[in-house]
Chains A and B, each alone.
Chain A
């Protein structure tokens, strides 16, 4: 063998003719928005950020900033970054990552200062914002982890909403009957698994379109829990609806950790479900990317036939993952009735299961990414409810919409491509 053929690809000429102007245009619009809203229409007072709650052991002093000056600074930086993005696009067709990242950070600061500076009452605390966000974040996060489990193995899970709802209902019923919240928690996991059994049966065994199965399951669970809610939970015994008075899961603050400003009240003053959530995110990440189990699951989701040819049972892996996902989402559903509120009501999950799907996609099918996306959605949701009480320059509903608009941008490739596992949604049929 003596031929020395050129095996490396020749350097492709650098001149790039295709440029995407989407990003500079988007940044331009946002910059214009900040100039108009933060400077011209901006509040003239100061914005006070309260870091600590009154009950905290360590008191961190409030951060007070002049709203208009910060708004002006933000606008100038935004315009400068937009110009930089435009130049980079013109010269190389690519925008450096740090430009977009710093733009986002600066813009978010601008929005916060504008909103808080413009509120009439000055009692918004950062810690209240985050701690309250957990009410929304927790079910989204559990739903997203259910999605990670099944979609990483290649089964699209649209039934998260149904799994959450089944968990919420069953937890309320069982905890009411037994008087034990932990029994309710376990029952919720079982209910989530049952929904998953149907999903697995139809989408894996009978190869029905996975999206259709998921949608149908959501409708089925909604109808079933609605029916049982009317027939069982509304039944009054001695004037009380005894089947809809679940015992509550107690809050278990962790000593010391719960005293850390902001993080403490947000993460370490939770019920057992909250702690399980933290462990779950870490465990799923480690499991998926560092263990044999994860390698096999990802192989099944990316290239099932390759997995099959090295002796991995593709469909068994998928079934196990879908069932595990059901248990996780069921526990997330239990959070509604055992922690967040004290009784079940019809369709109480209110679409959070679908938002969990958005978090899954925004987080790029990565447990940690999905968890951060769930946190973002939770904060935005909570901000909206706080602001509607506090009286702000813009409508709270509009703010609540922003994260989802962001998700659409993320999914459509504005913020880099979001790639699903290659075989996600494709049934594996052995020839």
Chain B
């Protein structure tokens, strides 16, 4: 697995600089309108999208066919992709946290470090879920076709969550402490279930693939 993870990290070498500049542009142009929490989320998600590029590079150099002849199980190849995604999400979250602290210094309504840390954790979760959704699609359809499907797949749940949150606000529903704890527990269980289902589907899809 170590070799597979290194392969993606090395192959993306030329793209880190571009991603970093994109981050600087996003944070520079929209930092104050997004706020510290927005910057944290944007940075984490930008890093998370790099997993899509690793699939594109794999396809361009015919990696998958070659990998099938290497002494690695297909399951291992799939799990390595998830490991790389965790690395990107973690890096993005850390960078986002640092940048959000800087942006927060100049903000009118300042957030506490604790609140920024919560933003970072939520950003990490969102970027991980992005991967949980997109990675099986990448394995199934390939990077190019999956880019378009990705838009729909990401947009629909986002709109649904936004509308739901709006309804809750309009309905004047007040969450009790117990309600909030239950919500956190449900989110954690949901996160684990989505992650497990994503890995399971990816392994099934990739095991049947021919190159």
A and B together in one complex = no
Residues of A within 8 A of B (CB): none
